[in-house]
Amino acid sequence: MCQPCLEQITPLAGILCSICGEKLSSGHVAGDAPPLCGICRRATLPFRRAVSYGGYAGNLRELVHLLKYHQVKSAAGFLARLIVQSIAAMELPGSFVVIPVPLWKGKRRTRGFNQAEAISRELLKNFHLSRRAAASIQLDTTSLFRRRETASQTGLTRHQRRANVRGAFAVRRPQAVQGQTILLVDDVMTTGTTAAECARVLLRAGAKEVFVATVARATKEVESGQAFSAAAP
């Protein structure tokens, strides 16, 4: 992807949910309280906060696809730098563990790598080159694993997505996450059900708290635009 196209990738703008990062209209913001989407008002999510750099559309979507489906692994470094910008506003402690969302072993064999892990490794390089160089940041790619294959989340309702991932993840080394702050990393966040399930099992294994960082977010605004484009003649 050429430099002018990379420069067209911009961060999410507007009012975002202070917990899950969903984009909100001004009508959903009440008073001076931190803005919350309808779901975060009604339910307590297992992760403390989730952030994404940009909407899952346009050149950012193409760049994710270059990494994910065409094995252009050099894209992982650029995507990791976007995540670094996103988590700048997070209240992360000086010490935390980076855990990528794991792939099912069959899909990993077919694809040849886990894109979330590739981004996480580049993320660590960026941390060590930044002002956080002295912080204690570890990468853990083995404790959290996917113990069964799941169907594609595409086209599923939120309820179906929750059922699809329920019980799909587990922690094989609880002692590695006990008392730790976890930064869970993935390429794309849609409804947050996968991130929530991962966070749930990490907390159950003894993690202190879980934050989530993804490159892109499939906001309702983006999804509506893609649906309109697909339906257009």
All domains of the chain in start order, with CATH:
3-231 (3.40.50)
Distances (CA, A) of 166 to 45, 148, 218: 15, 10, 21
Mean pLDDT lowest among 4-18, 54-68, 99-113, 212-226: 212-226
pTM of the model: 0.88
In the predicted structure, residue 230 carries a pLDDT above the cut 70: no
Confidence band, pLDDT 50/70/90 cuts, at residue 231: very low
Single-letter code of the amino acid located at 168: A
State the Cα–Cα distance between residues 21 and 189, nearest whole angstrom: 10
| Share above pLDDT 90 across residues of the chain, in percent, rounded to a whole number | 63
Checking if the pLDDT of 82 tops 80, the result is yes
Choice between 131 and 115, residue whose per-residue pLDDT is larger:
115
Q: Tell me what pLDDT residue 130 has.
A: 61
Q: Is 137 helix (H, G, I), strand (E, B) or coil?
A: strand
For residue 223, pLDDT beyond 50: no
Confidence of residue 78 (pLDDT cuts 50, 70, 90): very high
